Amino acid sequence: MTTPHDPQLLKGVLSLLLLRMLSERESYGYELVQRLREVGLAGIAEGTVYPALARLEREARVSARLVSSRSGPARKYYRPTQAGHAALTEGIAGWLSLAAVVNPVLTAPAPTQPAPPSEEVEK
């Protein structure tokens, strides 16, 4: 059984994940959804990925092109632009820097009981 991922945490890193996956190969939306599910984001919805792709396109971080498909309507394929590649490089550095601070705090053994209230000393 997999633990569901917090949508707010995912929202903060989704653009970075999409840029990273697109840096490996040009892909269309549903293929990206499948790839995200394969890496462990089993609950990710198409309704989360498509708006993120549209935002990246508006920000000129990805370019898109329509490719006809034998199995249905044309597919919109995405790939990073130079600005997207720069955003990916910067985003990875930022993520790794944040993770270096957050990981030790979150992976330290947690107390078995909540901390008692602090007693404030009046001066």
Q: pTM for the full model?
A: 0.84
Residue 110 phi, psi dihedral angles, 5° rounding? -85, 150
Coil vs helix vs strand at 78 = strand
Domain ranges of the chain: 7-92
Q: What is the pLDDT of residue 123?
A: 60
- Calpha distance 5→114 (Å, rounded): 24
Residues forming a β-bridge with 63: 79
| Fold entry, domain 7-92 | Arc Repressor Mutant, subunit A (1.10.10)
For 114, half-sphere exposure in the C-beta direction (CA atoms, 13 angstrom radius) is: 3
Q: What is the pLDDT of residues 16-57, one digit of tens each?
A: 999 999 999 999 999 999 999 999 998 898 999 999 999 999
